A and B are shown apart, each in its own frame.
Chain A
Amino acid sequence: MLDIPLRDYFRETRVFTSRLAIAIVVVLLMTLALVARLVYLQIINHRHFATLSQENRIHPRPIPPVRGRIFDRNGLVLAENLPVFTLEIIPEQVADMSVLLERLAGIVQLRPRDIENFKKQLRRRPHFESLTLRTHLNDEEAARIAVNRPHLDGVELQARLQRHYPLGGLGVHAIGYVGRINESELRRIDQSAYRGTQHIGKLGVEQRYEDLLLGGVGIEKVETNAHGRALRTMARIAPDAGQNLYLNLDAGLQAIAEKALSGRRGAVIALEPATGNVLVFASMPTYDPNPFVNGIDPDSYRLLLEDPDKPLINRAINGQYAPGSTIKPFLALAAMQAVGFDPSQTVMCPGWFRLPGSRRRFRDWKKFGHKKVDLHEAIVQSCDVFFYTLAVNLGIDYMHDFLSSLGFGARTGIDMIGESKGLVPSREWKRARGEVWYRGETVVTGIGQGPVLITPLQLAVAVNTLANRGTRLKPRMLRSIEDPQTKVLQQIVLERIGEIKVTDTRHWDMLTASMIDVVHGKKGTARRIGWNASYKIAGKTGTAQVINQDETYDEKNTPEHLRDHALFIGFAPAEDPQIAVAVVVENGGHGSSAAAPIARELMDAYLLPREKITASLAQDATND
Chain B
Amino acid sequence: MTVLQRLHLDKPFFYGVLVLAALSLLILYSASAGEARVAVGQGLRFVAGFAVMLLVAQIPPHQLARWSLHVYLIGLVLLMLVLVVGASGKGAQRWIDLGLFSFQPSEIMKLAIPMALAGYLSRRTLPPQLPVVAVAGALILIPTLLIARQPDLGTAVLVMMAGLCTLFLAGMRWRVIITMLAAIAALIPMVWPYLHDYQKQRILTLFSPEADPLGAGYHIIQSMIAVGSGGLYGKGWLNSSQTHLEYLPESSTDFVFAVFAEEFGLIGILLMFAAYLFVVMRGFAIAFHAQDSYTRLLAGGLTLTFFLYFFVNIGMVTGILPVVGVPLPIISYGGSSLVTLMAAFGILMSIQTHRKILQA
- Chain A interfacial positions (CB closer than 8 Å to B): 5, 7-8, 11-12, 15-17, 19-20, 23-24, 27-28, 30-31, 33-35, 37-39, 41-43, 45-46, 48-50, 52-54, 56, 60, 62, 92, 126-129, 191-192, 195, 219
State whether B315 touches A16 (Cβ < 8 A).
Answer: no
State whether A38 touches B231 (Cβ < 8 A).
Answer: no
State whether A42 touches B280 (Cβ < 8 A).
Answer: no
5 A-B pairs, CB-CB below 8 angstroms?
A20-B169, A37-B318, A42-B265, A43-B232, A56-B241
Selected contact of B231 from candidates A5, A15, A24, A50, CB within 8 Å: A50
State whether B214 touches A42 (Cβ < 8 A).
Answer: no
In Å, the complex CA distance between A39 and B287 comes to 32
State whether A42 touches B232 (Cβ < 8 A).
Answer: yes
Tell whether A53 pairs with B171 under 8 Å between CB atoms, given A17-B288, A27-B280, A60-B213: no
In Å, the complex CA distance between A596 and B218 comes to 63
Q: Which residue of A lies closest to B129 (CB)?
A: A5
State whether A127 touches B218 (Cβ < 8 A).
Answer: yes
Please name all residues of chain A whose beta carbon is closer than 8 Å to the beta carbon of B247 when the two chains form the complex.
56
| SS of A interface (majority) | helix
State whether B296 touches A16 (Cβ < 8 A).
Answer: yes
Give the total number of A-B pairs whose CB atoms are below 8 A apart.
132
State whether B284 touches A48 (Cβ < 8 A).
Answer: no
State whether A49 touches B225 (Cβ < 8 A).
Answer: yes
Report the minimal beta-carbon distance from A225 to chain B, rounded to whole angstroms. 12
Tell whether A23 pairs with B304 under 8 Å between CB atoms, given A16-B170, A60-B214: yes
Please name all residues of chain B whose beta carbon is closer than 8 Å to the beta carbon of A17 when the two chains form the complex.
288
Tell whether A31 pairs with B266 under 8 Å between CB atoms, given A5-B125, A50-B231, A126-B215: no
In Å, the complex CA distance between A432 and B219 comes to 56
Tell whether A42 pairs with B169 under 8 Å between CB atoms, given A34-B311, A35-B273: no
State whether A192 touches B214 (Cβ < 8 A).
Answer: yes
- Chain B interfacial positions (CB closer than 8 Å to A): 125-127, 165, 168-171, 212-215, 218, 224-232, 241-242, 245-247, 261, 265-266, 269-270, 273, 277, 280-281, 284, 287-288, 293, 296-297, 300, 304, 307, 311, 314-315, 318, 320
| SS of B interface (majority) | helix
Please name all residues of chain A whose beta carbon is closer than 8 Å to the beta carbon of B318 when the two chains form the complex.
34, 37-38, 41
Selected contact of B229 from candidates A23, A49, A62, A191, CB within 8 Å: A49
State whether B228 touches A42 (Cβ < 8 A).
Answer: yes
Tell whether A42 pairs with B266 under 8 Å between CB atoms, given A15-B171, A16-B300, A27-B307: yes
Q: Which residue of B lies closest to A22 (CB)?
A: B168
In Å, the complex CA distance between A472 and B1 comes to 99
State whether B231 touches A37 (Cβ < 8 A).
Answer: no
State whether A20 touches B214 (Cβ < 8 A).
Answer: no
Please name all residues of chain A whose beta carbon is closer than 8 Å to the beta carbon of B277 when the two chains form the complex.
27-28, 31
State whether A16 touches B171 (Cβ < 8 A).
Answer: yes
Selected contact of A48 from candidates B168, B215, B228, B270, CB within 8 Å: B228
State whether B231 touches A20 (Cβ < 8 A).
Answer: no
In Å, the complex CA distance between A40 and B168 comes to 32
Tell whether A37 pairs with B320 under 8 Å between CB atoms, given A23-B304, A42-B230: yes
| Given A37-B315, A43-B232, 19 other A-B residues pairs in contact with their CB atoms under 8 A | A8-B125, A11-B126, A19-B169, A20-B284, A20-B300, A23-B300, A30-B307, A35-B270, A38-B269, A42-B230, A42-B232, A42-B265, A46-B228, A49-B224, A52-B229, A53-B229, A127-B218, A128-B214, A129-B214
Please name all residues of chain B whose beta carbon is closer than 8 Å to the beta carbon of A127 when the two chains form the complex.
214, 218
In Å, the complex CA distance between A128 and B222 comes to 13
State whether B273 touches A45 (Cβ < 8 A).
Answer: no
Please name all residues of chain A whose beta carbon is closer than 8 Å to the beta carbon of B170 when the two chains form the complex.
15-16, 19
Report the minimal beta-carbon distance from B355 to chain A, rounded to whole angstroms. 15
Please name all residues of chain B whose beta carbon is closer than 8 Å to the beta carbon of A45 when the two chains form the complex.
228
Please name all residues of chain A whose beta carbon is closer than 8 Å to the beta carbon of B293 when the two chains form the complex.
12, 16
Report the minimal beta-carbon distance from B150 to chain A, rounded to whole angstroms. 21
8 smallest CB-CB distances across A and B, nearest first, come from A49-B228, A53-B229, A15-B171, A41-B228, A46-B231, A12-B126, A49-B229, A50-B229
Please name all residues of chain A whose beta carbon is closer than 8 Å to the beta carbon of B125 when the two chains form the complex.
5, 7-8, 12
Report the minimal beta-carbon distance from A582 to chain B, rounded to whole angstroms. 45
Report the minimal beta-carbon distance from B209 to chain A, rounded to whole angstroms. 13
State whether B214 touches A56 (Cβ < 8 A).
Answer: no
Please name all residues of chain B whose beta carbon is closer than 8 Å to the beta carbon of A52 when the two chains form the complex.
225, 228-229
State whether B232 touches A46 (Cβ < 8 A).
Answer: yes
Selected contact of B245 from candidates A16, A35, A56, A219, CB within 8 Å: A56
Selected contact of B227 from candidates A19, A23, A33, A42, CB within 8 Å: A42
Please name all residues of chain B whose beta carbon is closer than 8 Å to the beta carbon of A128 when the two chains form the complex.
214
State whether A34 touches B314 (Cβ < 8 A).
Answer: yes
State whether B215 touches A50 (Cβ < 8 A).
Answer: no
State whether B171 touches A192 (Cβ < 8 A).
Answer: no
Tell whether A23 pairs with B168 under 8 Å between CB atoms, given A5-B125, A46-B231: yes
Please name all residues of chain A whose beta carbon is closer than 8 Å to the beta carbon of B320 when the two chains form the complex.
33, 37
Tell whether A195 pairs with B228 under 8 Å between CB atoms, given A7-B125, A23-B169: no
Selected contact of A50 from candidates B168, B212, B228, CB within 8 Å: B228
